[in-house]
Amino acid sequence: MSESAVLELIGITKDYYGVTVLKGIDLKVKPREIHGIIGENGAGKSTLMNILFGMSVIHETGGFQGEIRIDGEPVVIDSPARAMELGIGMVHQEFMLLPGFSIAENIKLNREITCSNVISRVMGKSMETLDFKAMRQDARSALDHLSINIDETLPVAGLPVGYMQFVEIAREIDKKNLRVMVFDEPSAVLTESEAGLLLEAMRRLSEKGIAILFITHRLDEVMAVAHSISILRDGQLVARMERDQARIDKIAEWMVGRKVERSVLAKRPVAEDEAEDVILEIHDLSVEMPGEVVHRFDLKLRRGEILGIGGLAGHGKIGVANGIMGLYPARGSVFKDGLPVSLNNPRQALLSGMAMVSEDRRRVGLWMDESIEMNISFTAMQVQGKFLWPGPLERLRREDRTAMREHALTMIKDLDIRCTGPQQIVRHLSGGNQQKVCLARALTMKPDILWASEPTRGIDIGAKQLILDYLVRCSREGGMTIVMTSSELGELRRICDRIVIMYEGRISGILPPDASDMEFGMMMAGKYQSGKGVGIDGMA
Amino acid sequence: MKRGGVEVRSFGYFLQLRTGVFSRSMVPAFFAVLCIIGVVVAKLDLNYLINEIFTRLGRNTFLVLSLLIPVVAGLGLNFGIVIGAMAGQIALVIVTHYRIEGLTGLAVAMLIALPLAVLFGWLTGLVLNKAKGREMVTGMILGFFANGLYQLIFLVLVGTVIPMNNPTLLLPSGIGIRNTVDLIGVANALDRALDGIWDGLIMFDLGPIPVGPWRIPLGTWLVTGLLCGGISFLMKTRLGQQMRAVGEDGHIASVAGIPVNRIRITAIVYSTVLAAWGQLIFLQNIGTLNTYNSHEQIGMFSIAALLVGGASTRKAGIGNAILGVFLFHTLFVVSPLAGQAVFGIPQIGEYFRVFLAYGVIAVALVLHAWQNRLPAKG
Ligand SMILES: Nc1ncnc2c1ncn2[C@@H]1O[C@H](COP(=O)(O)OP(=O)(O)OP(=O)(O)O)[C@@H](O)[C@H]1O
Ligand SMILES: [Mg+2]
C-alpha cells in the first residue's frame, strides 16, 4: 500500500491526575483501511479516541502531549466541532444520544436540514425552519443502510440498547464529509448476526475511501474486517501487525501480557426430572418495553440453575428481566418460592431477594459521580440495610464506612476492577471497569436470583473469563440462581444449564447449551418451534 | 451531602418514585379546585371575575412567556428576568422624562430597553455559564445584586452624577427618583392601541343573564399572541433545536458540535429582552411605576404563575404559561374576597395565596434538585 496516511497520531501521551494512561502512542491509518485497536479494559483505547475527537474531558484534565496529523498536516483538535469539520466521526462507547429527541432528530443533530423563510433572510441561518420530512428521509436511508427496521420518529428514551447502538452508528454514516471514522466498541450489545450487519456497513464505508478505527473486545470481528491491528496494553502500543500476520491466540497474549487459558467449567449433570425445585414461577408475563416487548412469557426457574436468555435484538430477551424487576410496565403473575412478587415495583422486586445488572449501565446502573464503594454498596444499603451501624431507628442509621470499604476492596479484587482505589469516582473508570462495578453492586445484594442483562458488555476477554467463572461459582457454591441475558450466544453456551431463545416477544424454545448451532440459528429466526403454542403473530 | 447522605438519598428515591404519580396536571388541577372553592365561598360576581382575568391575562402573560426559552435551553426558571424588568423600567423613566407619550412612547421605550436588556442578558449569561447546574440560585442572587445597582443609580446617582431636572419624577430633595411614578403618558397605550378598530368591550344580555361588561385589552392580546407565535416558530428553527438539545444534555450537545455556551447565552438574552418588554406591557396596564418594587414582584409572581400552570423547571410550554396566568390571577382576585367572606379578614386569603405562590416555587426547586442528583432508577 503506497497511499499516504490520512490520519497520523504521533507520540500521544496523556495523564489523568498524575496517572499516565497513554505513553507515546503512534498510529497511522490510510484511506480505505480498517484498523482494529484492541486491548484490555483500561488499556487506554477510549482515551486515545477521545483525544482524536477533541472531547472536553481531555482538555479539562490538562490536554495531552503529541501530535495529530491529517493528510500530513498537523492539526489542533480542541473540540468535537473541530473534529467533525476535519471529517472525523465517532461512535462513542457511551451513547451520545439525546433521550427526549426522536431517532431522526438524533441522527441529524446539529446537522439539521432547514429551509429558509422570511425571518431567516433577515436574522440569519439559525432562524431557518427545520425540514422534518427531509430529516426523516435521511435518517431512514441511514437506518436502511444498516438494515434496521425501526420507526425513525420514535423517541430514543426507552429504546433497547441494541437499537441505540444502531442509531448512533446511523448518525455517523449519515455524515457526508467523513474521512476517518472511529467505532468504539460498537458491537458490545449486538448479537452475532447484528454485528454481521455492522461489519458489513463498515466494509462498505471503507470502500468509499473512509479510514476506520475499530475498537472491540471480540477478536473474531477484528479478524473478519480489519486490514491491520494495533494492540494496547497499559497505555502502551505493544504491537502493530497486518491482518495476515495476526492470529487470535497471539493477539490475546499480546493484550494481556501472558498466556490466556480458557478454563472450561465442569458441566453440571442436567437431567432434572419434573419434581424439580422451582424458585420462580413466571406465568403469562407481558412487558411493555419499547422495542423489546414480551408477550405471555411462561417459565419455571429451577433453584440454583443458570438460565440463559438469548435471541436477536428487538425480540424481547431484554424485556423479561426489566419487566420482572419493575423497570418497565409489566402484567402477569410471578411467584417466588410460592409467594407472589408484585410487578411494576422495583423496590419490592429487590426486597423479594432479586437483583439486576442492567444492560444500560449509564442510565439505570450507575451513579457516575459517586465513588466505586458507594456505587457498590448503595442498593444493598438502601434495600437491605447492609453497611449500616446498628441503631434503633432504621431510617436514621449511619453508614458503616469501614464495612463498605472492606467489601469494595474484596469486590475490586474478585472482579479485577482496574482503578486507583475504592474512592475513585465511577466516571473516571474505563467502560469495561464501570461494567464490573455494576455487576459488583448487584452481587453485593447476595440475591437469591440474579438477573444479569449483558453482564459482560464491553468487558475484555480475560476479564470476561473471570466474570463468567465468578458467576458459575456464585451459582455452584453460593446457590444463587442466575438468569443471564446476552446477545453473545457463545457466552451463554459456556455457562448456562439451559438457554431460552426468544422470538417476537415469545419463547421460541429452550435448548441445552450443547445443542447445535443450527438449532440455535433456526430458533432465533423463529423457524424452529418446540413446546406449546408458539405463535408468530403480534409485534409489528 | 456526604455525611448524612444515606437518608437524604432515600428520601430522594422516594420522591423520585412518586413524581410519576404526581403527574404534571396535578398542580393545575389543585389550583383549579382552589379557585372554584374561592369563587363559591366568596360568592363572586362572575362578570367581574372574567373582566379582571381578561385584563390580567393581557398584563402578565407576556412576562410569563419570557420564562419559556431558558427552560427549554436547560437553564431552569430564569430568576434573572428581574434584571430584564429593570431594563424596561429604566426605559420607561427615560420616556416619561422626555414626555414621549402614547404608543410612540411605548415603542421608544421598547427600543431603549432593547440594547440595555441585550447587554444585561449577555452579562447574566456569562455568569450563568460559570455556574452550570446552579443557574436558578445564581440568577436569583444576580437579581439581588442588580437590584442594588439599580437602587444606587435611581436613588443616589440620578440628580447628582446624572443630571436631571424634573420635579415630577425626582424626590423633593432633587436627588433620586420618586417611589411611584405616574405613567400617564403610556398608560394603557398598548391595551387600547386598537380602539380605532374595536374597543374590545363586550356587553350584552343573554336572555335574563347580563354578560359583561368585559373589556379585552386587544392590542396587548395581539402582541402576546404574536409572541406565542414567535416562540412556537423559534422552537421549529435550527436555533430552537439547538436550545432543546442543550437543554436535554449539554455534554451530548457539545459532542455533536453545538456551541453550548453560546446557545445558553442566547437563550438568556432572548429571555431578558422579552422580560424587559413584558415589564413595559405590565406597567402600561397598571399605569404607575413602583420604582423600587415593581420589578422585584414580577420575578416571583411570573415564576409562580408558570409553575401553577403545570410547568416544571425542565419542561414548560405556552399552554402552561397561559393556564398559569389564568389560575394564578384568578386566585389573586378571589383569595382576599374569600378571606373576607369566610374569616371576615381579607388578609387571611392574601396570606394564603402568597403562601401558595412561594410554596409552589419551593416544591418545584426541591424536585428539580432531586431530579438532577438521581440516576434514573435504583
Ligand atoms: N475522566 C477520567 N479521569 C480519570 N481517569 C480516567 C478518565 N477516563 C479514563 N480514565 C482512566 O484511563 C485509563 C484508560 O481508560 P480508557 O477508558 O481509555 O480504557 P479503554 O481502553 O477504553 O477500556 P475499556 O475497554 O474498558 O473501554 C483507565 O485506567 C481509566 O481509569
Ligand atoms: Mg473504552
> Where is average pLDDT lowest: A172-176, A181-185, B164-168?
B164-168
B16, part of any domain? no
Domain residues for the domain of B199 are: 23-377
Q: How far, in Å, CA of B242 to CA of B376, rounded?
A: 24
Residue A394: the pLDDT is 63
- Statement: residue B376 has pLDDT above 50: no
In a domain, B367, yes or no: yes
Residue B18: the pLDDT is: 39
CB atoms A346 and B377 under 8 Å? yes
Residue A288 has, within 13 A of its CA and on its CB side, a CA count of 5
Contacts of A99 in chain B (CB under 8 A): 248-249
Q: Distances in Å between the alpha carbon of B346 and those of A6, A364, B49, B305, B349?
A: 78, 51, 17, 21, 6
Chain A residues in contact with B248 (beta carbon < 8 A): 98-101
Interface mutation vs chain B, best among A79, A127, A363, most B CBs within 10 Å: A127
pLDDT in tens, A244-295: 888 887 887 888 776 656 555 556 655 455 557 889 999 999 998 877 889 9
Average pLDDT over residues B156-180: 88
d(CA B188, CA B219): 9
**Nearest to A158, CA basis, from A169, A150, A149, A170:** A150
* Helical H segments across A298-366, by residue range: 317-324, 346-351
| Mean of per-residue pLDDT scores for chain A | 86
Considering every ligand atom, which ligand is closest to the CA of A184? 2
CA distance B251 to chain A (A): 9
Q: Where are the domains of chain A?
A: 7-97+160-246, 277-353+447-540, 363-444
Contacts of residue B59, Cβ cutoff 8 Å, sequence gap at least 6 = B217, B220, B281, B282, B285, B286
Which residue of chain B is at minimal alpha-carbon distance from A129?
A: B237
| Cβ proximity of A186 and A198 under 8 Å | yes
Does any ligand 1 atom lie closer than 6 A to the CB of residue A46?
A: yes
Report which residue type is found at A329: P
Collapsing DSSP states into helix, strand and coil, what is residue A70? strand
For A368, which residue in chain B has the nearest alpha carbon? B375
Cβ count within 10 A of residue A237 = 22
CA distance B71 to B29: 22
Please tell me the predicted confidence (pLDDT) of residue A270. Answer: 54
- Segment B28-51 shows an average pLDDT of 88
Question: A130 to chain B: which residues are within 8 Å by CB?
Answer: 236-238, 241
* pLDDT computed for residue A260 by the predictor: 59
Q: How many domains does chain B have?
A: 1
Range of weakest confidence among A82-96, A424-438, A494-508, B355-369: B355-369
Cβ-based burial of A345 (10 A; exposed 0-12, middle 13-18, buried ≥19) = middle
Residue B6 has pLDDT above 60, yes or no: no
Q: What is the CATH number of the domain that holds B216?
A: 1.10.3470
Res A206 pLDDT > 70: yes
Q: Is A98 close to B249, i.e. CB distance below 8 A? A: yes
| Within-domain flag for B71 | yes
Residue A110 to residue B239, Cβ atoms within 8 A = no
The answer to whether the CB of A431 is under 6 A from ligand 1 is yes
CA distance A476 to A147: 41
In degrees to the nearest 10, what's the CA dihedral of A132, A133, A137, A140?
60
pTM of this structure:
0.81
**Separation in Å, CA A468 to CA A245, A320, A465, A482, A510:** 30, 21, 5, 11, 21
Q: How many residues does chain B have?
A: 378
The H or E element that residue B191 is part of is none
For A13, the 3-state DSSP assignment is: strand
Q: Say if the Cβ atoms of B17 and A347 lie within 8 Å.
A: yes
Contacts of A471 (CB under 8 A, 6+ apart): A306, A450, A452, A455, A482, A484, A495
The SS3 of residue A354 is strand
pLDDT digits (tens, 9 = 90+) for B137-152: 899 999 999 999 999 9
Which residues, at least 6 apart from A228, have a Cβ–Cβ distance to it below 8 Å? A33, A34, A35, A36, A240, A241, A242, A243
Interface test with A, best of B238, B249, B262 (most A CBs within 10 A): B238
Average pLDDT over residues B69-91: 94
Among the residue ranges A293-297, B210-214, B246-250, B257-261, the one predicted with the least confidence is: B210-214
> Residues for chain A: how many in total?
540
Q: Is the pLDDT score of B105 beyond 80?
A: yes
Place of cell 432508577: B377
Residue type, A421: G
Q: Going by CA atoms, what residue is nearest to atom 17 of ligand 1?
A: A430
B86 pLDDT higher than 80: yes
C-alpha pair distances (Å), A71 with each of A8, A75, A91, B71: 8, 10, 22, 43
Smallest CA separation from ligand 1 atom 6, residue: A428
For the stretch A312-364, pLDDT in tens is 878 889 899 999 998 888 999 999 988 998 888 888 888 889 999 888 777 67
For position B174, what pLDDT does the model report?
A: 86
E strands present in A81-227 = 88-91, 114-115, 129-130, 180-184, 211-215
CA distances from A200 to A146, A203, A478, A490, B319 (A): 8, 5, 43, 21, 48
pLDDT, mean of residues A218-243: 90
Per-residue model confidence (pLDDT) at position B45: 87
Q: Phi first, then psi: what are they for A23, rounded to 5°?
A: -125, 105
Confidence label for B378 from pLDDT (cuts 50, 70 and 90): very low
Distance CA A401, CA B240 (A): 47
Taking the C-alpha atoms of residue B322 and residue B320, their distance in angstroms, rounded to an integer, is: 6
In a domain, B3, yes or no: no
Summarised one tens digit per residue, pLDDT across range A37-68 is: 999 888 999 999 999 999 999 998 988 999 99
Q: How far apart are CA B122 and CA A227, in angstroms?
A: 52
Contact B295, B79 (CB under 8 A): no
Grid cell, residue A331, equals 402484567
pLDDT band, very low/low/confident/very high, at B200 (cuts 50, 70, 90): confident
Q: Is residue B4, in this structure, part of any structural domain at all?
A: no
Contact A347 B256 (CB under 8 A): no
Residue B14 lies in a domain: no
Query: Among B82, B77, B59, B78, which residue's Cα sits nearest to residue B293?
Result: B82
Tell whether the model's pLDDT for residue A158 goes beyond 90: no
CB-CB contact of A357 with A325 (8 Å):
no
Domain assignment present for residue B187? The answer is yes
**Within a domain: residue B12?**
no
ipTM: 0.82
pLDDT over 50 (residue A538): no
Say which CATH superfamily domain A7-97+160-246 falls into.
P-loop containing nucleotide triphosphate hydrolases (3.40.50.300)
Q: Which CATH code fits A277-353+447-540?
A: 3.40.50.300
Q: Is the pLDDT of residue A503 over 60?
A: yes
Q: In this structure, what C-alpha cell is assigned to residue B284? A: 402600561
